[in-house]
Structure 1
């Protein structure tokens, strides 16, 4: 991120001497207030990308002013705080929480280096099927949209209703030069709403319509629309494993993380007990 030199050269030259013998660890001081320093590097890191020269200068001035005011307000508040002990306790608790969270994330990342096996995922799915239900109608199949002027419409009518390899192969080759839109989704579940939105009509009861019409052909003034519904999962049904796979992986991963951290805490506790590092004073009373 580049700052216009005019914004800083004068400030840096004028203020660098303010640091005296302070070790700035390679940073360039811009402002000092009662021993607290604002550095050029910190200002640059906070500045939005793409500002004009004028906006950069304005941001710099406002940022420095706010930083100075914050330092002064903190000093005033610190000297007048009514319960310094409570504040210190809150700070210590927050610091402990941050450190523990960072360490736990590090441990979890190490634990997740091994992929969950298909066997684990399938077993978890079988044990928890009721958790994985369809919240919107899902379908598998094929969709193609072609201009009415395209040749070979009668062949499309035959091909799109079949999922055998030969029909699909012919339809895919045909779509390369003729189709306006083509979606092959025999191998994955898609929300029915996404496919139905591509058709030139509205459906009052889409789920019922799809149940009763697995081979759909519609047209408007310019195009033919073909949708073959090979399989359907209705709202409220238990998802198949392939439909629930991503959810299963996430749920099992979260469970393993929880169990892993519980075991880490237990191991730490038991080790500390064996080493007699824990003393319960209340048990002596």
Structure 2
């Protein structure tokens, strides 16, 4: 919120804060876990926050707390500052594809990075190097690299604002649940993608496998800056009807209790 309101802030690098458009993202998370909540949500669950998501009171609160509400309210000029959003592929709190609800809507200079095979706390070991590459570009007034991805009929097409040194495709499979938490022993496998001499990188996303698959594209640039596409889950229109299997103390879910009174 400081980023939006303080004129002295010229750029922002949020780490594992993958909850813009909060009400939509929370509802998606609830559906992704079969009408349940990740165990990491326990403090909020204990307070009953999960039962208020569709209430007028929660909607009123989000008009203050959710940064995307200020964009809708016509204050988009404040969002034009440089933004480097860094998320964990296996976050304990947020589903891996939450960026779908806000990233494309953010105006101005921006770049996204999804770090493979790490969780919410594990992102800490990537902070220093990530900030160095960002600050170097910021001080040199060098634009952030952008990946533009288009998905059509399970075919992903990715273009780059500048030529990367390497490109990788990261893919994770879960045959039992739409759950890609690192704590659940779900690991992404990286494969190097050959860059065409011109034109986009084209990748086929497999929606015919058992369970669900998560995929994103990662590009590394000459100065070490890393940018990625958002995560794409296939099949995207299928949600589980039961909780994911338990796999240890940190790979559990909390039973759903509804989202509260429905609001428009």
Length-normalised TM-score, structure 2:
0.17
Larger relative strand fraction: 2
Larger helix fraction of residues: 1
TM-score, length-scaled by structure 1 = 0.16
